[in-house]
Structure 1
Amino acid sequence: MNISSFSQNPADASENETINRAKTFVLPGKCFERRAACTWRRGNKFSIFSRSQTTSKSAPATSDDRILNIRQDILLFHPILRKLVNESNGTFLSLQKAAEANKNLDNHVEFLKHSRQYRSIIRVCIENLQEAASKESDGIEKNNLLTCITIFYSIECVWHLCEILYVDNVPGDYVLPFLLEWVRFHFPCHEQMATQLLDACERGSEEHPEYWDTVIGMIVQGRVDVARALLKLHSATDTTEFKLVDNSLKSMPIYSVYGGLSTGEFTITWKHWQAECRSKLSSRSVTSQPHLELIMRLVTGDYSAFESILSKYDSWLYILGGWTVFTMPWAKRHELRAAAAACAGMRGAGRSALHDLLRPAVEGELHQVIHEIQQISDNGWFATHLTDILVHCGKLKILDKHQTDVTGRLRDSLILEYGSLMMEHGSLWPVGLSYLCACAPEGPARAELLLARLPARTDTRALRVAAEAQKYGLHNVVRSICLCVGARHLSGGRLGAALAWGMRGRDPALCARAADAALRAYTAQGTLPARDLLPAAGTGLLLHHRALLLGKYCDFHRLYKDREFRKAAKLLISLLTSKIAPDYFWETLLLDTLPLLESDEPVFSSADTFEIMVCLELRAGSLAGERAELLRLACARNLARSLLHDVKDDE
């Protein structure tokens, strides 16, 4: 489910624009002038090719027909942004565990911690992008980096506001101090100049061309103490007008949840203070100083005064904090809607893409916020993670036209889309897999389909894919990968590797084929593959009797080599009597008894010798001629020796 349209390549966005535009492709070559066709490939890729009305089997080699492959440019696949993807994945998984562990509890502290982790990751990403942009000499690449900086700055700004309004559990729902902090952090237009003027601490600072703009900017941001400190740097600070304004600012009441006053009591105090300020304005006490008069008009909440300074700022967002401070300093979360509407309705209020993101957030229209952030060309990172944390906080509720709650479906669809996108990258696919498997049952099913399409050209890559699939319980994928890789090794004659992959994938058929090939190779060449592997195979040998036979036969050779002849003889007899050996291998097993029958000390008992003789007669077709006669003679001699040995033992 997607509230927005398909996003376009972020490289085409300008520095001050985060919304994508449609892109037109001009098809090269004359081959596309006839009949062009298109087909989707894996992921966000498609191919365009010319489709002729007739097909000729004898097409000339100089044909200009071609296939044009087109794919979406994924912003998150940039080397710098991959760190953002990996680190945010860890926070996402930690958030899911926290939400699951405290499902029925108010867990806002954990949610706030994870939200701040997300913002910290974004800030580090912005710093890395700024560092890379400062070192970049190529114009196009530098412009792309600057575009990324703009995008992620907007993301962090919106996320911070949503954190204040919807994630943090603000005492008394009094959000104004946090709103002022947000304005100061994200719109520091006069911060640096105020610091310079205060550090210089020189009388006559009004000579600086930005002095009054800085003072007014501090008032607009609700930083009255800083504005008072700047006014004291004016050469006329000891005059009556300046003292009057300073006393008014000094006596301004500040609302606090823990101040001991109720909202009603504070409102009375506040209105009394503003009435005094208006009386000073009415008395024309500061008319001789237009800037001071403007300050008094601002602190009394004069709409026209705020409107007159709005042209100095790019957006009404700069004055939102100041307007709220001087008109409704007791404002709670739900009352910010009126403040935002008043500021946005002022004449000259600028409008930007960031404005379209922030106003719905302030007004509590989270469904519109999700819609707008889906237009950002970050390939769904922001929409996925913000929606997820808002859903866990219980703040997001979206209804369809039938008034059905589709919030959970929206969250899952965003996570699935983002996870599927990550699966397309050569090294980020484990990240995508973790997102897909966080949305059962559709996510694991989709993960199985996408994992099966991952190229596993090397054993290392196949082991990585199989291990990740095993971690999430995708056993069908593990078996499929092991079968494919094992079959590849089997066709290449690497029987030990094929058998190992068959055991890893618990595939009896592959184990049987590999073991059978190994046994045939031994009968033909006299060498046993996978001799080092099989002793550690464990229960994998039980997958098929062919693998079991191969494993036990390797054990026989190991015992024989270590001169443990009695154990080797006992194991060989068990292989003969179990009748699990194929017809072509009986000759090998029977001939292996010959050196043991001729050993200095008898290692076969009389009963074992009779078993060998029975097998020799029953498998007459497996061993004939001179070798069969030699084996019969050896059995007869060993039978005599074993009987004598048994008699001595009885005596």
Structure 2
Amino acid sequence: MTAIRLYPPLFEEGKNTEFLHSGRTLSVTQSPRDNSVAVFATNAAVDSKAPRSSKEKYSEPNDIYTASTDSIPTSERRLFLTETSVVFASLQDFKNNQREQDSRLGRSEQVSQVLIKHAVDYVKLVMESWAQASKPVRRMQPLRYDANHYRALYTCVSLFVVLYLPEAGFDDAPVGEELMEWLNTHFIEPSSEEGDHLSSQDNPWQDESFWPYFTRSVLRGFSKASLFLLTTLSRHPSEHLQNVAQHLAPLLSSHPRIVQFSSERDFVIALRRWKERVKSLRLELDRVPEDAREDGFENWWKPFSNIVGILEGRLEVIQNICIDLNADWKEVCAAWSIFVNHRLRRQDLPEVVNQILESMPPDPTDLEDMIHVALFRGETMEALAYAAGLDVWLAAHWVDLMDAIDLLNTPVSDDSVISLRDQYILSYADYLHSDPALWRMTVAYMCSCGPIGREQADQVLLRVPISLNLSTSDNDAARLGGVPTALRAVIETCHEYGRESVRRMVCTIAARNSLQQRDYGLAVSYATSAENWTWLGRIVDAVLAEYIEHGPEVFARSVAAVAPSLQELRAHPGADGVFTHRLMFAVRYAEFHQRRLSGDLQEAALDILTMFNEDLAPKTWWGVLLCDAVDLIRNNDLMLYSSSGAVELLKRLEEVHIGASQGSGDAYLSILMMSMGGSSDAAALQRLKSARLCLAKYYAKCTMVAGGRDIRGSRVGIIGM
């Protein structure tokens, strides 16, 4: 359980009873955006049996403490996580493609090569992070993990590659050379400083570090360093040492290594012959008289004998040497595979390591060392557990590779709904969730973990902060149909991982936010993309409400923003016809007002008749349209409607009057009443009566027109004849 310590303290130590009696308790709220929490004091539930003081409500303001279960990654850590996520994504693509071709990811040579490549990519990235963290430079912020942490990751990941991802065809090959190379790469002994120190001396054997350096050089297979020291022994005062040193030199330079041979048989033959020469050296060394084994400084014979013992492959000698040199079990294991049993295979390592650990146990407090032990033993489950303690990144990427090469062997039981692989990767994704900026990576890892992971990814996608308050440069893009960067990224991610339902929900949220900002063009676009026709209807209603609240000019501008979406909407196969029809009405009604405001009254009058004849106008808007039509002909000498047009308007007006008188006033008069400032049914009907009188007079005027002349004898143009 994670302990959260509040600073400054909410109450002093020992004051918890007073805190409870104040009527307060602690509350914790999880953030939906990341894995942070807010801790604060609230009023406790009142217990009827509690003391009176505890029943009192505490109303004083309290501080709110924020905390996170994981530290937000620093810049260098975020770079490392991002770079390795690219390798992870590439590996998932490969595995998905392979599974489409075959239900099981086989270990063909091609598959092995791809898995090895990705694992080596992890090794390289860890090594680069180690190198960067090791640089003595001034930093803007302290490192989240120091160089030693990345060094430990480097040793673990590279050892995993050595032991579990051999090249195709080398699964059963001797592993000694690779183990020794790994040991010499990551645990460098002896140091180059020691070698420089000895080479600068005339009589290096007089230095106390001579024989330890010489012995370790032989143990590690550094023949050049060993031969250099042997040449200095030609000046040694002991002729016996000079003699055996001359015989040792060719043995070190000609030590057969399996990498030098094309076949294991040739290597075994060469090694057998070399071993015979080592036996000869041992016989010669044993013939050195007891009193000649001292050189005036120390007993040279014993360390020299130990070196020959290494070449002979005597395990007890190698172990004693490693203990004296303060080496550990890893060095014994690597030397075993070179000098004791050159045929040691990967599958033989657990038995060998267990034998070594009996006398040279690992450090249980050192996670890195415990991981190495688990890997050598083939205990992948333990290795994963220790890796999670060292760095959740390591466990997540290891378990993914282990799953690909069938190392887990832990099928999902009936009691479990999630695999071991997914458990570790989702734990890592939860760690990534501590940084909201890494949400795309979080989603990528979650979506690789089956239905449960994808459901968790959905929740992350739904909570990505999306601001529709665009910058100046983004506003131009928005007018051209663009979308905010964050929203575009969320939509692209939904497409990438097939989260269609989430994409629609996100677009619906964007439509709602755009509607709140009265950006109707984007709102319609988002609602259409979400295929949320209910929200499209709300947007259209909001656009029409602009006419009622702000008048025809603002209404026309608002419709101009949504008009470009009409053609796309009409072509959409799933579009709801009701809402599309309503949007068409809004566009046509806006065109009417634009023509009216520009003085094109005849076209404006034609728009009114068209909206009625094509049934574009909802009945709730009939009263408004009829009043608009009357306003056109009132105080205007032009004959804008023919008699048939006037009759059509009178018929619509009569239907409104009858419907209102029969109790359906809301269905016909609601919009008209709102446009009149929220007046009553009676006021709306009175206005319609005035409109009917005006239309009746206009119709009478139409009937008095003969031969194209009005009652004054002037020529007129008549629409609708």
TM bucket, shorter chain:
0.7 to 0.9
* Counterpart contact for 1:37–1:48, Cα < 8 Å: yes
* Counterpart contact for 1:44–1:71, Cα < 8 Å: yes
- The reply to whether residue 323 of structure 1 matches residue 336 of structure 2 is yes
* Counterpart contact for 2:623–2:653, Cα < 8 Å: no
- The reply to whether residue 518 of structure 1 matches residue 543 of structure 2 is yes
Provide the TM-score with structure 2 as the length reference.
Answer: 0.72
* Counterpart contact for 1:552–1:571, Cα < 8 Å: yes
Q: Which runs of 5+ in 2 are unaligned?
A: 48-53, 295-299, 470-483, 658-668, 673-686, 710-714
Superposed displacement of residue 111, structure 1: 0.9
- Which is worse superposed, 360-369 or 628-637? 628-637
- The reply to whether residue 624 of structure 1 matches residue 621 of structure 2 is no
- Which is worse superposed, 384-393 or 303-312? 303-312
- The reply to whether residue 550 of structure 1 matches residue 586 of structure 2 is yes
- For 2:595 and 2:118, the matched residues in 1 are separated by 59
Distance 1:568 1:275, change over 3 A: farther
* Residue in 2 that maps onto 1:579: 615
* Counterpart contact for 1:310–1:316, Cα < 8 Å: no
Distance 1:226 1:447, change over 3 A: same
Code of the residue aligned with 1:153 in structure 2: it is: R
1:369-518 correspondence runs (5 A): 369-376=383-390, 378=391, 380-398=392-410, 409-456=419-466, 458=468, 460=484, 461=486, 464-488=489-513, 490=515, 498-518=523-543
Among residues 289, 292, 306, which one is paired with 2:304 in the alignment? 292
* Counterpart contact for 2:218–2:307, Cα < 8 Å: yes
- The reply to whether residue 539 of structure 1 matches residue 568 of structure 2 is yes
Among residues 98, 120, 123, which one is paired with 1:119 in the alignment? 123
Distance 1:213 1:569, change over 3 A: farther
- For 1:557 and 1:624, the matched residues in 2 are separated by 20
* Residue in 2 that maps onto 1:13: none
Q: Partner of 1:253: helix, strand, or coil?
A: coil
Provide the TM-score with structure 1 as the length reference.
Answer: 0.78
* Residue in 2 that maps onto 1:181: 181
- CA deviation string 1:349-406 (max 9, x = no partner): 7663322110110121112211211222x3x211111100121122332379x8x998
* Residue in 2 that maps onto 1:14: none
- For 1:470 and 1:347, the matched residues in 2 are separated by 55
Among residues 73, 87, 93, which one is paired with 2:89 in the alignment? 93
* Counterpart contact for 2:43–2:58, Cα < 8 Å: no
Distance 1:408 1:494, change over 3 A: closer
Distance 1:98 1:493, change over 3 A: closer
Superposed displacement of residue 572, structure 1: 5.7
* Residue in 1 that maps onto 2:244: 241
* Counterpart contact for 2:630–2:691, Cα < 8 Å: no
* Counterpart contact for 2:353–2:377, Cα < 8 Å: yes
- For 1:44 and 1:62, the matched residues in 2 are separated by 25
* Counterpart contact for 2:543–2:559, Cα < 8 Å: no
Q: Partner of 1:118: helix, strand, or coil?
A: helix
* Counterpart contact for 1:430–1:468, Cα < 8 Å: yes
Superposed displacement of residue 514, structure 1: 2.2
Superposed displacement of residue 72, structure 1: 1.9
- The reply to whether residue 283 of structure 1 matches residue 291 of structure 2 is no
Distance 1:117 1:95, change over 3 A: same
Q: Partner of 2:407: helix, strand, or coil?
A: coil
Code of the residue aligned with 1:549 in structure 2: it is: F
Code of the residue aligned with 1:180 in structure 2: it is: M
* Residue in 1 that maps onto 2:215: 216
Superposed displacement of residue 179, structure 1: 1.5
- For 1:313 and 1:637, the matched residues in 2 are separated by 118
- Number of equivalent positions: 615
- Which is worse superposed, 603-612 or 88-97? 603-612
- For 1:523 and 1:54, the matched residues in 2 are separated by 50
* Residue in 1 that maps onto 2:152: 154
Superposed displacement of residue 171, structure 1: 4.2
* Residue in 1 that maps onto 2:78: 82
Q: Which runs of 5+ in 1 are unaligned?
A: 1-5, 9-21
Q: Partner of 2:688: helix, strand, or coil?
A: coil
- The reply to whether residue 41 of structure 1 matches residue 30 of structure 2 is yes
Distance 1:348 1:395, change over 3 A: closer
- For 1:567 and 1:176, the matched residues in 2 are separated by 93
- Which is worse superposed, 512-521 or 277-286? 277-286
- CA deviation string 1:591-620 (max 9, x = no partner): 666899999999999987775565455446
* Counterpart contact for 2:375–2:383, Cα < 8 Å: yes
- For 1:171 and 1:517, the matched residues in 2 are separated by 70
Among residues 373, 376, 381, which one is paired with 1:359 in the alignment? 373
- CA deviation string 1:37-82 (max 9, x = no partner): 565624364747577564878646557x6665543233x6222211
- CA deviation string 1:541-572 (max 9, x = no partner): 64424334324445666788999999988776
- Identity of counterpart residues, as a percentage? 17
* Counterpart contact for 1:500–1:533, Cα < 8 Å: no
- For 2:29 and 2:464, the matched residues in 1 are separated by 17
- For 1:562 and 1:279, the matched residues in 2 are separated by 118
Distance 1:558 1:396, change over 3 A: farther
Code of the residue aligned with 1:192 in structure 2: it is: S
- CA deviation string 1:466-499 (max 9, x = no partner): 5534543334434444444544554565555554
- For 2:253 and 2:158, the matched residues in 1 are separated by 30
* Counterpart contact for 1:396–1:407, Cα < 8 Å: no
Distance 1:255 1:480, change over 3 A: closer
* Residue in 1 that maps onto 2:68: 71
Code of the residue aligned with 1:514 in structure 2: it is: I
Q: Partner of 1:427: helix, strand, or coil?
A: helix
Q: Partner of 2:167: helix, strand, or coil?
A: coil
* Counterpart contact for 1:190–1:218, Cα < 8 Å: yes
- Which is worse superposed, 577-586 or 157-166? 577-586
- For 1:329 and 1:405, the matched residues in 2 are separated by 46
* Counterpart contact for 1:245–1:292, Cα < 8 Å: no
- For 1:444 and 1:61, the matched residues in 2 are separated by 43
- Root-mean-square deviation (Å): 4.5
* Counterpart contact for 1:482–1:504, Cα < 8 Å: yes
Superposed displacement of residue 121, structure 1: 1.9
* Counterpart contact for 1:187–1:318, Cα < 8 Å: no
- CA deviation string 1:183-209 (max 9, x = no partner): 1111113343377479x7886555666
Superposed displacement of residue 504, structure 1: 4.1
Structure with greater contact order relative to length (CA < 8 Å, sep ≥ 6): 1
Distance 1:416 1:483, change over 3 A: same
Larger radius of gyration: 2
- The reply to whether residue 190 of structure 1 matches residue 190 of structure 2 is yes
* Counterpart contact for 1:316–1:344, Cα < 8 Å: yes
- CA deviation string 1:298-317 (max 9, x = no partner): 22223343323434335332
Code of the residue aligned with 2:372 in structure 1: it is: L
* Counterpart contact for 2:251–2:274, Cα < 8 Å: no
1:583-622 correspondence runs (5 A): 583-590=619-626, 614-619=651-656
- For 1:280 and 1:338, the matched residues in 2 are separated by 35
* Counterpart contact for 1:32–1:49, Cα < 8 Å: no
- For 1:564 and 1:330, the matched residues in 2 are separated by 99
- Which is worse superposed, 270-279 or 216-225? 270-279
Distance 1:414 1:50, change over 3 A: same
* Counterpart contact for 1:384–1:418, Cα < 8 Å: yes
Superposed displacement of residue 149, structure 1: 2.7
* Counterpart contact for 1:316–1:343, Cα < 8 Å: yes
Distance 1:632 1:446, change over 3 A: farther
